[in-house]
């Protein structure tokens, strides 16, 4: 049986206090909410904080606020179950509800939080093993070693970003609020991530993710909504498709999120296609997204866009299934995501 190493557990009374503790303790401290990622990592000695700052009791991190017409705010401490079962999220943001419902198992969704899934540690076949296994082959660059076993000649770590919520939040242009000792800042979802298996977040260690801000979800009866940085659009839809070995629960070895904004005639005015599970950060298929602008989502344009999305999809050989087959599936799953976006009714998570 793997046991947790000894650590000091701190229960702050506010986000501000939690941030101050993290700043004061430096690299020896880490925050925890649901603990579904950190505690297993601590048991395997991947992460060894001397101080763990508990966030699960903070009311500041709980709740879903606002309206779809103006944009919904999900606080980072909301459990995954609360999100995927929330009737407003299911109705107005079905793609997000579907993505969150695909994470792990019901029991772990009852514990895990959206903020925790956004900040999920990167994964790798050579890293996510027991301490004894890693010691036997020599430790990897991500923890205790100096070599990346995925690419031994590489100067960087290639562990993979494997969150299910991240690709669709990036595709939807969600925004994240981060709070630190010096105040708060808001970043677009894509800007939170760095293409590095070790330093995979641009979030500072003492900052706490407090809110996930979703864009306004227009009424599909024809009323238009203006989004920040985008022209007034008649509406948008988003979808997430996940490839994994076990259908019941598993990390994605390929995740594809697609989002398209439509004008009144059904022409795409903006689009995003985002891959997860293939690199250290979510990957945008920018050429494919540009191709869709000015066109309707027909079978022909969807196939062409999926073919263009195939090019930047370069899975690494450090997760389940072969990287060559996963690359072939990138085209298939991009096409599935776009077809779901094109359908009159995006499915709600079951």
Higher pLDDT, 208 or 227: 208
| Confidence (pLDDT) at 345 | 52
Closest CA to 338 of 304, 294, 287: 304
| Confidence (pLDDT) at 2 | 85
pLDDT tens-digit readout, 168-193: 999 999 999 999 999 999 999 999 99
pTM over 0.75: yes
Domains of the chain listed by start with CATH number:
62-118+160-217+232-342 (3.30.465.10)
Q: What is the DSSP string of 41-105?
A: HHHTTS---SEEEE-TT-GGG--EEEETTTEEEEETTSBHHHHHT-HHHHHH-HHHHHHHHTSS-
Q: At what angle do helices 299-310 and 323-342 cross, to 10 degrees?
A: 150
pLDDT tens-digit readout, 22-38: 999 999 999 999 999 99
Q: How many CB atoms are located within 10 Å of the residue 221 CB?
A: 6
Q: Is the pLDDT of residue 309 over 70?
A: yes
| Confidence (pLDDT) at 217 | 87
Burial of 2 (0-12, 13-18, 19+ CB in 10 A): exposed
Q: What is the DSSP string of 124-180?
A: -TTTSS-HHHHHHH---TTTT-S--SSSTT-SS---B---SHHHHHHHTT-EEEEEE
């Amino acid at each position: 049986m793997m046991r947790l190493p000894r650590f000091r557990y701190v229960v702050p009374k506010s986000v501000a206090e939690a941030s101050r503790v993290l700043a004061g303790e430096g690299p020896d401290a880490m925050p925890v909410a649901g603990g579904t990622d950190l505690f297993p990592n601590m048991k395997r000695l991947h992460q060894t904080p001397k101080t763990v700052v508990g966030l699960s009791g903070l009311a500041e991190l709980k709740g879903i606020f606002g309206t779809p017409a103006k944009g919904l705010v999900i606080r980072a401490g909301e459990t995954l179950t609360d999100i995927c079962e929330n009737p407003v999220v299911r109705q107005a943001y079905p793609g997000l509800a579907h993505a969150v419902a695909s994470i792990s198992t019901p029991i772990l969704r009852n514990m895990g939080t959206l903020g925790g899934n956004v900040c999920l540690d990167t994964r790798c076949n050579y890293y996510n093993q027991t301490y004894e296994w890693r010691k036997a082959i020599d430790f990897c660059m991500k923890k205790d070693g100096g070599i990346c076993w995925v690419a031994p000649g590489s100067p960087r770590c290639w562990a993979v970003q494997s969150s299910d919520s991240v690709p669709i939040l990036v595709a939807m242009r969600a925004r994240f609020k981060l709070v630190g000792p010096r105040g708060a800042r808001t970043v677009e979802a894509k800007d939170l991530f760095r293409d590095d298996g070790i330093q995979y977040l641009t979030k500072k260690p003492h900052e706490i993710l407090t809110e996930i801000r979703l864009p306004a979800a227009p009424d599909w009866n024809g009323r238009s909504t203006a989004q920040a940085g985008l022209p007034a659009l008649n509406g948008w839809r988003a979808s997430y498709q996940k490839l994994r070995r076990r259908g019941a629960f598993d990390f994605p070895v390929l995740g594809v999120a697609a989002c398209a904004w439509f004008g009144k005639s059904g022409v795409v005015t903006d689009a995003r296609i985002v891959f997860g599970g293939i690199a250290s950060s979510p990957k945008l298929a920018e050429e494919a997204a540009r191709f869709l602008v000015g066109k309707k989502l027909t079978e022909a344009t969807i196939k062409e866009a999926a073919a263009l999305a195939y090019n930047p999809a370069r899975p690494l050989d450090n997760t389940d299934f072969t990287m060559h087959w996963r690359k072939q599936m990138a085209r298939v799953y991009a096409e599935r995501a776009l077809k779901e976006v094109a359908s009159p009714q995006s499915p709600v998570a079951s």
